[in-house]
């Protein structure tokens, strides 16, 4: 029996034990992120099984917690970084330059300075440039190492228009310029190793045609580059593999995506590289928050919680849906001595931020809430803490991880002193 047999392809919020999650909230306080490292390993193994011949890089921006990076590196997954800060964290977690890619998007000067300095210590790392200007700036800093070119194939897909990167002018060199740009880079003694593009984030099974068209275009570009410049090590088609946030959505047919990717790429004398982020960590994390206010409004019942858009930004930024479960009510229902069941009523779950957009759900039908109840917000392992902020001078939450049945604090809760320290220590 393999490690994956019997494990679901998606972990729903109802699969988390409500009593155990409540105990985490009691011990560590709320708001609190809980991450299951064993689930992250399962997701990594599932990807490796579907893409056995591909290089898999994890998009660090999804969740840069050191425990997450160490877990994925231990599973043989590389680390793709969108900033110098992420690159520093990836090297700290892996100490392996060959496993790290830096994908620059209009990189600030201090980012390039830091990345080139890291390259001097780790000459095996790969830098992906998204413009000729960035290549010039790297050359000015003495960089002539492993260079990948981000191209713009003109095809985008994803769960929201703000994350459909494949056709956005911000990202990459126009595909028709790729051969000339890489030929010039090779003449300037850069070690040209690959091409890269990313269609978008949260691609679902019903967007498979767009994904297939995008990968096919990348295969065409790779063959043109090979003919003009020479063999490439890899063709990186990004990640963007979606996960089902809604309870009635089916999980991504990963085998179908893998087969479509290989077929669409065609005959290319280079390794296929993929860069999943969300798929590896989303369903491995939940956000716990406590109810502090229940009030009857004109058209709904408003349930106030101690997490907000500063804790989990996705609902406010993308109108994103996240499953929600009242853990206290679920535990009561599971208890043998529970004599009552709560009425199911529509409720609006709102945070403490002074913005009308600070809402996690509107008119969501849930068991009637009571002050002190603990609520879990599911699929919070990706782009949760990474997008947390200190708006309204609110400290960011703590994170705990679970692994092999043990629980440990992975990141302490910030304090007001942390928020104001940069003003005092200047």
Residue ranges for the known binding site are: 240, 275-278, 314, 318, 355, 383
Cα 426 to chain centroid, rounded: 33
What is the C-alpha separation between 287 and 327, in angstroms, rounded? Answer: 12
As a 3-state breakdown, the chain gives helix, strand, coil percent values, each rounded to 5, of 40, 25, 40
Separate counts of helices (H) and strands (E) for the chain: 13, 18
Residue with tokens 């193994």: 45
What is the C-alpha separation between 188 and 191, in angstroms, rounded? Answer: 9
Query: Which residues contribute to the annotated binding site for substrate?
Result: 278, 314, 318, 355, 383
Query: Active-site residue 354, yes or no?
Result: yes
Cis omega (within 30 of 0) for bond into 31: yes
DSSP annotation of 254: H
Residue with tokens 């009593």: 19
Query: Which residues contribute to the annotated binding site for pyridoxal 5'-phosphate?
Result: 240, 275-278, 383
Catalytic residue among 354, 356, 393, 425: 354
Cα 376 to chain centroid, rounded: 19
What is the C-alpha separation between 360 and 326, in angstroms, rounded? Answer: 13
276 phi, psi to nearest 5 deg:
-70, 150
Cα 178 to chain centroid, rounded: 28
Please check whether residue 365 is in contact with residue 322, taking contact to mean a CB–CB distance below 8 angstroms.
no
Please name which of 148, 81, 94, 80 lies closest in space to residue 122, comparing C-alpha atoms. Answer: 94
Q: What angle do CA 43, 234, 260 make, to 5 degrees?
A: 55
What is the C-alpha separation between 388 and 308, in angstroms, rounded? Answer: 9
What is the C-alpha separation between 279 and 345, in angstroms, rounded? Answer: 32
Catalytic annotation, residues: 354
């Amino acid at each position: 029996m393999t490690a994956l047999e019997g494990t679901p392809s998606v972990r729903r919020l109802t699969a988390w034990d409500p009593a155990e999650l409540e105990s985490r909230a009691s011990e560590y306080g709320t708001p609190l992120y809980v991450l299951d490292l064993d689930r992250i390993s399962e997701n990594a193994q599932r990807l490796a099984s579907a893409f056995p011949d591909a290089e898999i890089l994890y998009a660090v921006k999804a969740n840069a917690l050191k425990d997450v990076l160490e877990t994925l590196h231990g599973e043989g997954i590389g680390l793709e970084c969108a900033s110098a800060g992420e690159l520093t964290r990836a090297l700290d977690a892996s100490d392996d330059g060959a496993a790290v890619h830096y994908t620059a998007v209009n990189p600030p000067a201090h980012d390039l300075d830091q990345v080139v300095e890291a390259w001097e210590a780790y000459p095996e790392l790969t830098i992906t440039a998204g413009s000729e200007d960035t290549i010039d700036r790297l050359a000015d800093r003495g960089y002539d190492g492993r260079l990948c070119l981000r191209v713009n194939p003109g095809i985008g897909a994803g769960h929201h228009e703000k994350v459909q990167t494949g056709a956005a002018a911000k990202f990459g060199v126009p595909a028709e310029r790729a051969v000339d740009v890489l030929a010039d880079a090779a003449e300037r003694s850069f070690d040209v190793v690959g091409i890269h593009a990313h269609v978008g984030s949260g691609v679902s099974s019903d967007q498979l045609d767009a994904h297939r068209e995008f990968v096919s275009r990348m295969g065409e570009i790779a063959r043109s580059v090979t003919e003009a410049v020479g063999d490439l090590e890899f063709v990186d088609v990004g990640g963007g593999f979606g996960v089902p946030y809604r309870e009635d959505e089916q999980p991504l047919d990963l085998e179908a995506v893998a087969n479509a990717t290989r077929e669409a790429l065609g005959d290319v004398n280079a390794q296929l590289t993929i860069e999943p982020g969300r798929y590896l960590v989303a369903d491995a994390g939940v956000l716990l928050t406590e109810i502090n206010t229940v009030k009857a409004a004109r058209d709904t019942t408003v349930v106030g919680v101690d997490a907000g858009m500063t804790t989990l930004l996705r609902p406010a930024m993308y109108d994103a849906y996240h499953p929600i479960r009242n853990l206290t009510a679920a535990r009561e229902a599971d208890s043998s001595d529970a004599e009552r069941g709560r009425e199911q009523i529509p409720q609006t779950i709102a945070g403490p931020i002074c913005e009308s957009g600070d809402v996690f759900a509107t008119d969501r039908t849930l068991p009637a809430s009571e002050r002190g109840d603990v609520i879990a917000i599911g699929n919070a392992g990706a782009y949760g803490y990474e997008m947390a902020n200190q708006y309204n001078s609110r400290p960011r939450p703590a994170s705990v991880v679970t692994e092999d049945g043990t629980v440990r604090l992975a990141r302490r809760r910030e304090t007001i002193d942390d928020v104001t320290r940069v003003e005092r220590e200047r």
